[in-house]
Amino acid sequence: MMASAFLEREADGSQPIRNGAFVAIVGPSGAGKDTLIAHARSALADEPQVEFVRRVITRPCDGQTEVHDTLADDAFVAAQAKGAFALAWEAHGLRYGLPASVDRAIDNGQVAVANVSRGALPALRRRYANVAVVEVTADPEILAARLAGRGRESHGEILSRLARTATCDTTGPAVALDNSGAKEIAGDRLVAIIRKAMAFADMSGAV
């Protein structure tokens, strides 16, 4: 697959930020998004062109999944009003933000990689000219087992979450990435996708 086959160029007259590219990782809780991102971060540690974005969330960091920055709800709203975030959204009763530095990184030709909620994709596509959406999936039984292992939700809440997942879509083209097996398999595929985005960003910046 050529890079241009999964990277979308947005041209709606709003002058989105270009030169670099944004790789958005989406998928249901329990699919292993953070695990795959950690795998890619390790594999691409020596690639200065790639920025793995540290999100800001109104939830304490539990040390079990992604490492993120935490803000109280009021502090998040105040930071957003001051332009601290390139993109912010709400999901599952929490607020999420990507720091404003992402705009500069993409404008400078870098590739930004982040875990993003599906509901934020339309705004993301409006903001950046070159976007690749990677939808991480896993078998329902595996999702349920992983969610139960976290101990955050009751059995009923887990079933409701899985039901909501089944009705969601990515509002546009996406690369499907099945993470039902060994994390290295899907992790290496994600690394390959990011490398294609790097090549695409190089070509985009040269135009």
Query: Quick one: DSSP state of residue 5?
Result: G
42 labeled binding residue: no
30 is in an annotated binding site: yes
Q: How, if at all, do strands 94-99 and 111-115 pair?
A: unpaired
Q: Is the pLDDT of residue 168 over 60?
A: no
Query: For residue 142, what pLDDT band results from cuts at 50, 70 and 90?
Result: confident
Q: Is 29 annotated as a binding residue?
A: yes
The string of pLDDT tens digits covering residues 79-130 is: 999 999 999 999 889 999 999 999 999 999 999 999 999 999 999 999 999 9
Does the annotation list 149 as a binding residue? no
Please check if 117 is assigned to a binding site: no
Indicate if the pLDDT at residue 9 is higher than 50.
Answer: no
Task: Please check the confidence at residue 207 and state whether its pLDDT lies above 70.
Answer: no
DSSP classification of residue 172 = S
The DSSP string of 29-61 is TTS-HHHHHHHHHHHTTT-TTEEE---EESS--
Instruction: Determine if residue 109 is labeled as part of a ligand binding site.
Output: no
Q: What is the mean pLDDT of the chain?
A: 83
Q: What's the rounded Cα separation, in Å, for the pair 197 and 131? A: 9
Secondary-structure class of domain 17-202 per CATH: alpha beta
b/e 104-139 (16+ beta carbons within 10 angstroms → b): ebbeebbbbbbbbbbebbeebbebbbbbbbbbbbbe
What pLDDT sits at residue 46?
97
Residue 66, pLDDT > 60, answer yes
Domain regions of the chain by residue span: 17-202
As given in the structure block, the two tokens for residue 129 are: 């000219």
Q: Of 53, 40, 39, whose CA–CA distance to 86 is shortest?
A: 53
Query: Chain-centre distance of CA 149, in angstroms?
Result: 23
**Beta carbons within 8 Å of 68's beta carbon, 6+ residues apart:** 54, 55, 56, 57, 61
Alpha-carbon span 108 to 98, nearest angstrom: 17
Which of 11-20, 84-93, 103-112, 137-146 comes out lowest in average pLDDT? Answer: 11-20
Query: What pLDDT, on the 0 to 100 scale, is given for residue 30?
Result: 77
- Please report the pLDDT score of residue 132 as a whole number: 95
Q: Which amino acid is at 72?
A: A
27 labeled binding residue: yes
Residue 122 is labelled as binding a ligand: no
Mind listing the pLDDT tens digit for each residue in 21-45? 999 999 987 788 999 999 999 999 9
